[in-house]
Structure 1
Amino acid sequence: MVPWLGPDDPFPPVEHALGITSGAPGLLAASSDLLPWRLVDAYRRGIFPWYSDGQPVLWWSPDPRMILKPDEFKVSPSFRKTLKRVLRDERWEIRVDADFPGVMRACAQAPRRGQRGTWITAEIIDAYSVLHRAGEAHSVETWFEGKRAGGLYGVSLGRMFFGESMFADVTDASKIALAGLIGHLRHHEVEMIDCQQNTSHLASLGGREIARKAFITHIRTATVQAPVPWQFDKQALLDVLPNGLPSEQAR
């Protein structure tokens, strides 16, 4: 039986989440509220919300957990050429927190294979916008010719980034934003990005699953470290290119 959380009830231990043989592996608890303080507490415990309109707030902690280590980010030869082109072309920009609510709304509208509707509800946008104003949630945005072309958002606590969602209106725009984020996090020695659940797209970029116990052990330390600064631009891409931008041959 999944416990129902009242406004002041703590989360149960993550080990109490439903197992792999259940119909909802990783489901830990449910509540009627999505209070910002509970959101932050959830992330620090390895828990995240995921639900649809008309459902209660459902809280999850799957085992295993999908993560992406910045040092393991895979850049294919074709994408490497794209990043080098972005670095050279003034029409391309990477902006941080230029339009956080707009990124969330764009993620909500992005089509997802095998999904109908969205879990990024108005309630979700409101709650994460509160975290954004507190400096605990951020968007990384790819802009082309002065228009937002793609991006991502997530929660940043200490030296840990919890990725939430991505969107692209232009080919590779979300991957460019992710590469910028990866470069920035590498520079600040962030060891892990939480990707929550396994997808083939994340796996193609270097994501992999680890045991929930190992994930929880890591975030207990990482989330209490000094926070990452959140000012960077597309020069962060240099940190994901093996040889930087050495010559005209990189065009």
Structure 2
Amino acid sequence: GRAAECARDIRGRGALPLFAGGTCMYLNALLNGFSFADLDIEPEVRADLERRADALGAPALHAELAAADPEAAARIHPNDRRRIVRALEVFLATGQTLTERNRRAADGDSRPPGLRRLRVFGLCLPREILRQRINKRAGLMYNKGLVAETRSLLARHPEAAPFLQGVIGYADALKVLSGDMSQSQAEALTAQATRSFARRQIIWFRRLRGIVWLNRETVSANTAVSLIGSALNY
């Protein structure tokens, strides 16, 4: 895939390729060779799903996904139309769910040659500290104008409302704008949704093999740099 090509190009220029950030799905692709590139999906499949999403709404398609791939449905918000459509089109086109494809990829090292020596390091925090930071972040989002930002975004792109309903933070800000809840209530719900999202992400990351976890509270920056530098020599 494109990542392997970039890695080879960077190495060919005598430099070290670094991948930072990203979701579990992208990291899984790097670690286990999972890719959408090898899927032969007819455009009509997506077009039909998009038409049904327009007519029935994303939650209706999410219910179909829950029947076909409960694990994927549990990870995807009922209003996250883009990811719901993507998961369903993979299932309809291949007969395999995203969960099945992930598991098959994880059974063996199917990474392209350019990524065979990939080393992965992750930062983690004790649960209570993570919880405190998430709560603080939610407060800062609203104090720094999330509701006003959402109002401005809708004024410029009213068609974005369905998508925003599936985005943590924006979904609750929309309810403030509609008068369905106060800002303090929205802040609490955003913090709760973020904590749930973090919990799901942690579970996913823990399932991926080959990640070296560094505790931000107990591992100093110098120790982390030393550890990473040593690992890159092998």
Structure number with greater Rg is 2
The question of a shared fold, defined as TM-score above 0.5 by the shorter chain, is answered with no
Structure ranking higher in helix proportion? 2
Return the TM-score normalized by structure 2.
Answer: 0.28
Return the TM-score normalized by structure 1.
Answer: 0.27
